[in-house]
Amino acid sequence: MALNGQDIELHLAIPGGTLNDPQPDPNDSLGGPMASTTVEEVESTVTSAGDEHQFTDNTQTSTSHVGKWLLFVTGVAAMEALRIETHDTGTGKMTFEGEFLTAPQVGDVYRIFNTSSLFEPATAAQAAQGFTSYRLIFVENATGDTLVNFRAYLQPLDRGRVTYRIAMSDEQFIGGAVGVLSDETEEPNLNDADFRQSQRQFWRTPRSFAQAAGSTPFDTSNNLNNNRRIPIWVERTVAPLSQGFEASAWLLILEAASATGGGAGPWRTGIVLTDEITGFTPSLVVSFDRTPRTAGGARMTVTLTDALSGAPIANESVTIELVAPSPGSLAGETGLVTDEAGQVSFVYHAPDDEAEVGTSVQIQASIGGDP
């Protein structure tokens, strides 16, 4: 049969469960049985060949929540990592940027996965101190054929302060207690040398594989047998002092030269591993430059810094409010974005009314939250 990427399935691990239990939360993918639930979220079939492919999701109404994606593409066409380029919230159509290694063909099926679901965004504290965590995913060959020269490797797309390593494990990790992590920070029972990071250090067979040749997922020629599964550990390391840095993006590539049943090759698919780092632990300070008098005013300054490092945070929108029943008014308080010093400023005008002497004036600033 023809090599069809739809039959290369991606599954999550589910600790403490039974084989093929649903595992809706990738963040719990810490070893154990292979969940039947993939991380699929959107699937679309190519209806016209071309380099632009659109997915439609009418229920998504805001792009602000859909930044980066983990993408798993199935189809005879291979592609690089994609990210949302435009999103028409009216029609729900999303256009992606990225490169198709081969032009999409009519009938190809693509699936998209939420990138932030495999690893939770690193918190500011983790980013400040450095943090290493692990996830386990399974790749299953359901093509009906043997995948020739199957291999997996990592390719950095956007180098940031986050790095990845992968290690293939063996099928003992599926369905039993072997390899189940108590939490994401526990290192899998593998040698450090089992982890590979660069494209040249690709994996073809698990180094720690203990089963006899012929009964392994791989044959003696590094081909992935039909209906066999490969556990792949993904190690993510957030370097210390990473808060405030942009996300990293790495591509976990699964590749096969061809399939024994006559499938055309090479075939390639990828999982984009992107990282959202909570850039800072926000610390907001609202200050008056003077104690306002009636008929007077004050220049207000809001300073946003990282509570951990003390560094100013620029380019953050700040919402200002004169908290009722405070008298007076504000000017220049809308559309404020912090400058390089992490500051915004505006003006408070007190009422020209001596009856207001002694009245409290409260001014509130906020950042974040849902738009």
Residue 134 Cβ, how far from another protein at the closest point, in Å?
21
Per DSSP, 64 falls in state G
Residue 348 burial (CB count, 10 A): 23
Q: What number of residues does the chain have?
A: 371
Residue 356 Cβ, how far from another protein at the closest point, in Å?
5
- Distances in Å between the Cα of 171 and the Cα atoms of 138, 228, 252 are 10, 9, 20
Residue 307 Cβ, how far from another protein at the closest point, in Å?
10
> Which CB sits closer to another protein, 36 or 155?
36
> Which CB sits closer to another protein, 59 or 221?
59
d(CA 333, CA 299): 11
Return the sign of the alpha-carbon dihedral for residues 22, 26, 28, 34. Answer: positive
d(CA 60, CA 89): 7
Residue 91 Cβ, how far from another protein at the closest point, in Å?
13
Residue 2 burial (CB count, 10 A): 12
> Which CB sits closer to another protein, 216 or 303?
303
> Which CB sits closer to another protein, 214 or 358?
358
The first and second tokens of residue 76, run together, are: 């005879």
Residue 148 Cβ, how far from another protein at the closest point, in Å?
30
Q: Which residues bind another protein (CB under 8 A)?
A: 40-44, 56-57, 59-60, 65-66, 114, 117, 282, 284-299, 302, 319, 323, 327, 331-332, 347-350, 352, 354, 356-370
Residue 354 Cβ, how far from another protein at the closest point, in Å?
6
Q: State the pairing for strand pair 8-12/131-141.
A: antiparallel
> Which CB sits closer to another protein, 82 or 224?
82
Residue 239 Cβ, how far from another protein at the closest point, in Å?
24
d(CA 159, CA 114): 20
> Which CB sits closer to another protein, 88 or 289?
289
Strands of the sheet containing 69-72, edge to edge, are 40-45, 109-114, 69-72
Residue 297 Cβ, how far from another protein at the closest point, in Å?
3
Q: Nearest-CA neighbor of 172 among 209, 227, 204?
A: 209
Contact of 12 with 23, CB cutoff 8 Å: yes
Torsion, CA 5, CA 8, CA 11, CA 13, rounded to 10: -150
> Which CB sits closer to another protein, 159 or 290?
290
> Which CB sits closer to another protein, 146 or 338?
338
The first and second tokens of residue 132, run together, are: 């290493």
Residue at 344: amino acid letter: V
- Which residues have CB under 8 Å from 123's CB, separation 6+? 278
Residue with tokens 């504000």: 330
Residue 282 Cβ, how far from another protein at the closest point, in Å?
4
> Which CB sits closer to another protein, 159 or 293?
293
